[in-house]
Amino acid sequence: MAQYKRSGGIIAITLAATTGLTACGFGGSGGEASGDGTTLDLLVPSYSDATQGLWEDVIAGFEEANPDVKVNLQVESWDNLESVIATKIQGGDAPDIYNGGPFAGFADDELLYPVEDVTSDETYADFQPTFLGNAQVGDTAYGLPWIASARALFVNDALLEEAGAEVPATWDELLESAKQVSELGGGVAGYGMPLGSEEAQAEAAVWLWGGGGSFGDAEAITVDTPENLEGAEYIKKVIDEGATQADAGATDRSPLFDIFVQGKIGMQVGLPPSVGQIESDNPDLEYSIHPIPTKDGSPFTLGVADHLMAFQNDGDKQEAITSFFDYLYSADVYVPWVQAEGFLPTTVSGSEALADEEALAPFLEVLPDAQFYPSTNPDWAAADSAFKALFGQLDSDKSAKDVLAEIQEQVDAG
C-alpha cells in the first residue's frame, strides 16, 4: 500500500510539473532563435491536401539559400485559422508570417509591418497595382497579395441542351434557364444557390453587386441599401420560383459543387480550382465556363485575394522576413505554387508566366472587372461573419429588407 501511494505521488508530481511548465508557456514569446540563427514562425491555412507539401518545398529551398534562418511551419484548416491566430496574439505568441484573408484588424492594432518594409523594391513593384490597392489601410499596404481567385458561372451544357435552355447573361435569362432545367425533374436543380454558412458572403456579393450594390468601402460597411435590396429580392424570387436546389438557405458551397460535378445541377458559380475538381472527379462532365450573369448583363466578377502578413513581434526579424518574401515571390518559386493550387497569381511576372494556361483563361479574362470585398475596413470581419450567419435567412419567411437590416445591425454592433 505504501509503495502504491508513493508511486501515485510521483505520478502526480510529474503531472503537476509538466502541466505547470505548459502553463508557463502561456505568456512566453516562444519559438526563440537558437545560436546566431533567426527562426521564422509561419502560420498558413490549408488550401488543399497539397498545401503542406508545397510549403515544405518552399522552406527547404529557402533554408538552403539562407542557412542562418530557420522556418517553422504550422498548417491549420481554414475553419480553425482565425481562432488560432487570435489565440496566439492574445498569448503574445504571434507568428512572424501569416497567410490569411482579412488583415485590416491586425493593421489597426499596429501589429503588422508595412509591406514596403519587408520586401525589396523589385518585389514590391512586381505586385499588380489593383491587388496592392486592395491591400492598403489608408495609404500603406499591410497585406502582401498572395493568391487570387475570381468567380465565373459553370454551366452543365448537357442539362441545358436537354432542357432547351440558353446560357444566361442577365438575371432574367438566368431565372428562365434555371426554371427550364429544374423542370427536367429527377432531382435536377436549375441553379445551385449556396447560402449556407460556409461562404454565404460570396453568393451574396455575386447577386448584390451584380445588381449595382456594394458592401461599402474602407470607411463604412453598408449592407442595408436600396441597391443591395434589389439583388436580395431577386435571390428570394429565384428561390421562390423553384429555380434552385431545395433549402438554398442552409446549403454550403463545397458539398453543393460536388452535386454539380455529379451532373445534377444546371448552373453554379465556381472558382479556378473547380476546374481541377471536375477534371479529377468527373472528367466526362460536359461543361463550360461563362461570365457571371448580372442584372443588365454588364461584366463583373467577384475577386478574392488572400494575403500574407508580417507581424512585428520583437521587431528583430525584419531582415529575415524580407529575404523570405523576396525568395517566395521570385517567379520560379511563386508560379509553381500558385499553379499547383489552381489559383491566379497576383504579380505581374506571375501573370505573364501563366498567360497561355488554358484552364485559367476564362478567369484571367474577367479579372479586369473584378470587385473586391471591402476587406481593408476593420469591420469587414464582422460583416463577413454576419453574412455567413444570417444571409441564408432569405430562404425563409423573413423579408429581404429585414435580413439586410439584421446583418447591418450585427456589423454596426461588432
Partner 1 sequence: MKDLLKAVPWIGPAVALIATVVLFPVGLMFWNSTRDISQSGVDDGGVGLANFATVVGFQYFWPILGRTVVWVVVVVACTLIGSLALAALLNKAFPGRRLVRMAVIVPWASSVVMTTLVVHYGLEPYFGIINSFLVDVGLIDTPEGYGWTRHPGTAFAWAMVVAVFVSLPFTTYTILAGLQTVPGETVEAARIDGAGGVRTYFSVVLPQLRGAVSVAVLINIINVFNSLPILKVMTGSIPGYDADTVMTMIFKYMQNQRQIDLASALSVIAFLVVIGIVAIYVRVVRPLEEV
**Among 292, 257, 258, 253, CA closest to 78:** 253
Supply the DSSP symbol for 70.
Answer: E
Among 12, 50, 65, 125, binds partner 1 (CB under 8 A): 12
Q: 40 near 71, Cβ under 8 Å?
A: yes
Among 168, 213, 249, 293, binds partner 1 (CB under 8 A): 249
Among 57, 252, 357, 369, binds partner 1 (CB under 8 A): 252
Hey, is 238 helix, strand or coil? helix
Binders of partner 1 in range 179-238 (CB under 8 A) = 185-187, 189, 195-198, 200
**51-65 vs 331-341: helix crossing angle, rounded to 10:** 170
Question: Closer to partner 1 at the Cβ: 140 or 262?
Answer: 262
Residue 254 within binding range of partner 1, rule CB under 8 A? no
Binders of partner 1 in range 337-376 (CB under 8 A) = none
**171-182 vs 226-240: helix crossing angle, rounded to 10:** 20
Residue 264 within binding range of partner 1, rule CB under 8 A? yes
CB of 347 to partner 1, least distance (A): 27
Region class of 192: left (phi > 0), else alpha (psi between -120 and 50), else beta:
beta
Encoded one letter per residue, x for contact with partner 1 by CB under 8 A and - for no contact, window 110-129 reads -x------------------
CB atoms within 10 A of CB 390: 21
Residue 405 within binding range of partner 1, rule CB under 8 A? no
Residue 259 within binding range of partner 1, rule CB under 8 A? yes
Supply the DSSP symbol for 324.
Answer: H
Residue 323 within binding range of partner 1, rule CB under 8 A? no
Question: Closer to partner 1 at the Cβ: 274 or 393?
Answer: 393
Contacts of 133 (CB under 8 A, 6+ apart): none
Q: Where are the alpha helices (DSSP H) in 211-307?
A: 226-240, 253-261, 272-281
Tell me the window of 33-41, 100-108, 173-181, 359-367 that interacts with partner 1 (CB under 8 A).
100-108
Among 7, 29, 90, 298, binds partner 1 (CB under 8 A): 90
Match 445551385 to its residue by C-alpha cell. Answer: 192
Q: 334 near 328, Cβ under 8 Å?
A: yes
The residue type of 394 is: L
Please give the residue ranges that form the binding site for partner 1 (CB under 8 A). 5, 9, 12-13, 15-16, 19-20, 23, 79, 82-83, 85-90, 105-106, 108-109, 111, 185-187, 189, 195-198, 200, 245-247, 249-252, 255, 259, 262, 264, 378, 381-382, 385-386, 388-393, 395-396, 410, 413-414
